[in-house]
Amino acid sequence: MGRRHFVVTTSVEPPLRGSPYRAGCPTRRILDRIGDRWTVLIVGALWDGSARFSELRRRIEGISQKMLTQTLRGLERDGLVRRTVYPEVPVRVEYTLTEAGRSLREPLRALEEWSITHLGDVSASQEAYDRAD
């Protein structure tokens, strides 16, 4: 089967789907895209240049073939990654961040910075909380 079928998280639909949860909140909408297990790691791996499928698999330790394909398809569909097929034998496929994909750098850096400066306190808070029954 080709790639006709997709889970279709359709696009416009501002407010809700099943339950009235604020799916329209812009922050939530982008978290729905990058909040999964692999997206930011792939974006990071593509950061300085393109790579082919097998190279990505090697860089992102632990990712399964299925999830790499699936996540790359999602990124391609969103216009954040460009996929180029070179019809050689055997086939060669290159993945590159688009301009939109590279524009993710700013928000991701903000997250990373927050992480670096605050996750120590978070861990300490967790331990204190867990000790206090």
Residue 115: name its binding partner from a second copy, DNA, none (Cβ under 5 to 8 Å by kind).
Answer: a second copy
Which residues in 79-98 contact DNA (CB under 7 A)? Answer: 83, 90-93
- How many whole angstroms from its chain centre is CA 71? 7
Residue 69: name its binding partner from DNA, a second copy, none (Cβ under 5 to 8 Å by kind).
Answer: DNA
Q: How many helices (H) and strands (E) does the chain have?
A: 6, 3
With 0-12 CB in 10 A as exposed, 13-18 as middle and 19+ as buried, what is 5? exposed
- CA distance from start to end of the chain: 54
Cα dihedral sign, 36-115-41-59 = negative
Closer to DNA by CB, 49 or 90: give it.
90
Structure tokens at 70: 């699936």
- Where do we find the tokens 């569909």? 77
Q: For the window 64-103, what string marks contact with a second copy as x by the rule CB under 8 A?
A: ------------xxxxx-------------------x--x
- 69 contributes a contact to DNA by CB under 7 A: yes
Query: Among 15, 16, 25, 37, which residue interacts with DNA (rule: CB under 7 A)?
Result: 37
User: Rule CB under 8 A: which residues touch a second copy?
Assistant: 2-4, 6, 8, 10-12, 16, 19-22, 25-31, 33-38, 40-41, 44, 60-63, 76-80, 100, 103-104, 106-116, 118-119, 121-127, 129-130, 133
